[in-house]
Amino acid sequence: MKNGAFKVRKKNDRKSLISDIRDHVIYSLSKEVKDASEWDAGNALTLALRDRLVERMIETRDRYRRAKSKRMYYFSIEYLLGRCLGNFLCNMELLDLCEDIFKDLGFDLDEVQASERDPALGNGGLGRLAACFLDSLATLDLPGCGYGIHYEYGLFRQSIHNGYQCELADYWMKDGMPIQIARPDQSVIVPLYGRVESAISPSGEFLPMWVDWDDIIGVPHDIPIVGYGGKTVNYLRLFAACASENFDMDIFNHGDYIRAVQRKIESEMVSKVLYPTESVSFGKELRLVQEYFLVACGLRDITRRFMAQNRNFEEFADYVAIQLNDTHPALTVVELMRYLVDERRIDWEKAWDITRSTCAYTNHTLLPEALELWSVSLIEKVLPRHLQIIYEINSRFLKMVERKYPGDTGKMRRMSLISEGGTRKVRMANIAVIGSHSVNGVSELHSELVKTRLFPDFSELEPEKFNNKTNGVTPRRWLLNANPALAALLTDSLGKGWITDLDELRRLEGLATDKEFRDRFMAAKRTNKVRLANYIKATLDIDISVDSIFDIQAKRIHEYKRQLLNVLHIMHMYLELVDNGIASACARTFIFAGKAAPGYWEAKQIIKLIHSVAHVVNNDARTKGLLKVAFLPDYRVSLAEKIIPACDVSEQISTAGTEASGTGNMKFAMNGALTIGTYDGANIEMMEEVGKDNFYLFGLKQEEVEQALISGNYRPGEIYNQVPEIQQVFTALLENRFSPDEPGLFKWVVDKLLSDNEKYLHLADFKSYAATQKRIDKDYEDSNLWAGKAILNTARMGKFSTDRTMREYAEDIWNIKPVYG
């Protein structure tokens, strides 16, 4: 220690690292170095890195304290981190050194990294975005951290049996997570259930008291988040649920040991599994408890830190910013009000001003089913005091609306926090909007639709709070770490500046016509295609040609993402070849990856259809060298890191107006893939950046989709009658050509797509999609043309770094500033 400042002692040189790795094998793992396995070696290296990260984390914390900086806390129900070791090595600039060290120790660092399990803390884009944000915050030296839940089991591991998705438990913590740091000394108590008693203070003030509640304990675990260069280390704080010793012992002392154990198990269920099923009432209750658990733990931690610095709560919003990642943490608004009013005894209006000044809300979806609604009766059961506060917020808010729009009962009904139709429900999105000073969408189109389609009344009332923050991805994870072949070429050509300033890639534009650079760029692409082809052979026993177009759709399986449109086109290509004798200009390998929600029948049937089509196509001698189809199971970050760098054509084909942003589209293009996409989400901004000539646009625009659906003019039967290609595909489905052993299996596809109620307009976009695919074939035949387009996609993706996104949030919403090391 010197002048009260923490001194960083651990060095990153070869001698120090080797010494620490050996020490951890012996003293942390209790093994001799000669007996260490790859897994042991990986653990020892991780622990050696953790020592260094902990020192930097303490130094970063002290730096923030000295600067008296305002901090941002990101509340998200999920974080899809991916494997940590490789990312740490890249950001600490230790990858080459550690590869060399491990060679001397007799290990292959790539194989050591492959032994690490993906932390199963998220499901898809929402969680991966949160992880990218944390990376950029630390890289930019911004004071901020994440709050989430320490799930013991992930969503599920996906396996495929006879073409059907099967869900397996994903116990990702089976082998532990050596990088994380348990903080039991900072555990918090979370109250649940109970009832509210009304009392009156001596001064006549109403004093509601939440009593007879059960409690569970939230135990924090920190995962260090290191920025590029290793100077700033923030953290992700995840809370695990544990039973309260107090109520367990109370039951135990009454002689009911079995019930005491049962209560302990029930308490710990809160952080047991990501996304419990909502098909039964217990699942819904557990999900609500999870959301409150996240919020209560996070706020208790924030207020503890705030009070430790002896600050006045009227200054809370000057030092604290909270970002709500979608509606899952919307109860933050209510819990902060409860804390300020009930525990700090702050006047309601002042507490409301503090809450709104602190909270900001990001919306991620326009789909009505994704906007959370909780029944009033369930909230009353689980959080009785919070329901009272929701009613009070609603009453005061609607009085204000009534004053501004007298007599407009329709507007009041739409803006109310309570939906009154049928079962009364609480609208979590409305709570998030009312209780925040900022509401943002995640692409320009989406943000406009948030204002005009999703929250038009709120936008009219407070237009200044609505804004756009287009998503991004971190180039450290998705280019530097995931694509070493391309990253090496970029660094060789541009220097290392692009790693923290992705706009530097613009300098590649001048090389797009340079033959030597084009050849090296496409050689890097081929290296990645060979790696993926080998993985597919080892995993699925499918031989694919690396000279074929790798056409990839990797994302959650959902009707609006239109994997079904992709499969319709594949069936069309197959039938064109085998029935009509028309071969495509270029060989194609169609690759799919993604999970379907366990209760989503149509999505799971789409997976079955993909496998059935793949079985027919891949086993037909007539398609040899021309057409292959592969579905890679259990899509996760580590698999995405193999898939994305190998992609030639990126499928971003959601129905226009349904995808908020998309971030997979950015990852693919950043790695030199060309996009076939609709005029939707961030596709629009990507096309503007890379140029229309380097983007394959097709299909209806959002306003055309909306008009077709609102007017009722969408008649898929008429399209069917006019398009022979669709007729041929549907006939093949009805004649069971893709399900010869299961007659009638895919009749549902024909019925669904011919229904006038089919809201994703598959048939409306089919002809445009197929024609655009033919354009892709033609362009790919000209290798120089294609290489130039691919290079320009990489060169013009600077806007889509989360570094840019985080700067915008920091300046426009959070009002936080970098604190440099």
**Catalytic sites, residue numbers:** 364, 555-556, 561, 663, 667
Q: Check: CB of residue 580 under 8 Å from CB of residue 535.
A: no
Residue listed under structure tokens 């494997």: 83
Q: Return d(Cα 66, Cα 818) in angstroms, integer.
A: 13
Q: Print the SS3 string covering 177-242.
A: CCCCEECHHHCEEEEECCEEEEEECCCCCEEEEEECCEEEEEEEEEEEEECCCCCCEEEEEEEEEE
Bridge partners, residue 210, by sequence: 196
Distances (CA, A) of 122 to 63, 118, 645: 31, 10, 22
Q: Check: CB of residue 555 under 8 Å from CB of residue 661.
A: no
Closest by CA position to 729, among listed 613, 562, 602, 629 = 613
DSSP label of 77: S
Q: Return d(Cα 672, Cα 649) in angstroms, integer.
A: 9
Q: At what angle do helices 257-268 and 245-253 cross, to 10 degrees?
A: 160
Q: Return d(Cα 282, Cα 214) in angstroms, integer.
A: 17
Q: Return d(Cα 672, Cα 685) in angstroms, integer.
A: 17
DSSP assignment of 292-357: HHHHHHHHHHHHHHHHHTT--GGGHHHHEEEEEESSTTTHHHHHHHHIIIIIS---HHHHHHHHHH
Amino acid present at 631 = F
Closest by CA position to 127, among listed 626, 663, 554, 529 = 663
Rounded to 5°, angle at Cα 90 from 794 and 298: 100
Q: Return d(Cα 716, Cα 729) in angstroms, integer.
A: 14
DSSP label of 657: T
Closest by CA position to 189, among listed 391, 339, 354 = 339
Q: How many CB atoms lie within 10 A of CB 735?
A: 11
Q: Token pair for residue 581?
A: 């004798």
Question: How long, in residues, is the chain?
Answer: 821
Q: Name the percent of the chain in helix, strand, coil, to the closest 5.
A: 55, 15, 30
Q: Return d(Cα 87, Cα 482) in angstroms, integer.
A: 9
Q: Return d(Cα 438, Cα 14) in angstroms, integer.
A: 48
DSSP label of 755: S
Closest by CA position to 430, among listed 290, 339, 331 = 331
Residue listed under structure tokens 């407070």: 462
Closest by CA position to 229, among listed 135, 309, 314 = 135
DSSP 3-state of 148: strand
Q: Check: CB of residue 577 under 8 Å from CB of residue 624.
A: no
Handedness of CA 661, 326, 138, 184 (dihedral sign): negative
Q: Return d(Cα 667, Cα 665) in angstroms, integer.
A: 6
Residue listed under structure tokens 């056409």: 551
Bridge partners, residue 167, by sequence: 158
End-to-end CA distance of the chain: 17
